[in-house]
Amino acid sequence: MGGYLGSYLYQVDEKGRITLPAAFRRDSETQSFVLIQAQPDALTLYPDDTWEEVQERLRSLVRTAPRSRHRMLGLTANAVEVIPDKQGRILIPDRLRAAAGIRDEAQVVGAIDKIEIWDPESFSRLVDETGDDFGDRLAGIFA
């Protein structure tokens, strides 16, 4: 089975590292990822091959909507390449942790082709707020 699935709670160590779930490391053929803040309260971790696709979409967007260049620069200026160490840990820079409100713990969430990293309280609020509406939208998929 492919893709990143599941939600895992991890401690952020004193160096700002979190461990990627073993299932995510096992399902990933990539050795490196790109970490960005694509939304206000979460970080997104893209495997290299998916990041290539995202870059192409960004290039296309800039060509068709030149004003979007500033948003693209905002995304890429704070992007970092991360390579898991032998224990499967990645370093999340202070500025990205602070921007997403991640402190002592991180909720690591599979999002099929990417991984999202949340402050656990923010993720819990998101799940609570979208629960019923989300279920209604997905009803047709699982019927």
The DSSP secondary structure of 75-136, one letter per residue, reads HHHT-EEE---TTSEEE--HHHHHHHT--SEEEEEE-BSSEEEE-HHHHHHHHHHHHHHHHH
Domain annotation covers residue 141: no
Tokens of 133: 């509406």
pLDDT at 123 over 90: yes
pLDDT tens digit string along 65-106? 777 777 777 778 889 999 999 999 999 999 999 999 999 999
Of 86, 82, 80, 81, nearest to 22 by C-alpha is: 86
Domain annotation covers residue 37: yes
pLDDT tens digit string along 43-72? 999 999 898 898 888 888 777 777 777 777
pLDDT at position 36 is 95
Domain annotation covers residue 60: yes
pLDDT at position 108 is 98
Domain annotation covers residue 143: no
pLDDT at position 28 is 59
Beta bridge partner(s), residue 8: 108
pLDDT at 14 over 60: yes
Mean pLDDT of the chain: 87
| Other C-beta atoms lying within 10 Å of the C-beta of residue 105 | 14
Domain annotation covers residue 14: yes
Domain annotation covers residue 1: no
Task: Please report where in the chains the tokens 């700002």 appear, as a residue.
Answer: 16
Q: In angstroms, rounded to a whole number, what is the distance separating the alpha carbons of residues 112 and 13? A: 26
Q: Provide the number of structural domains found in the chain.
A: 1
Q: Give the CATH number for residue 49.
A: 3.40.1550.20
| Other C-beta atoms lying within 10 Å of the C-beta of residue 137 | 10
57 lies in which domain range?
Answer: 7-135
Q: In this structure, are strands 80-82 and 33-39 parallel, antiparallel, or unpaired? A: antiparallel
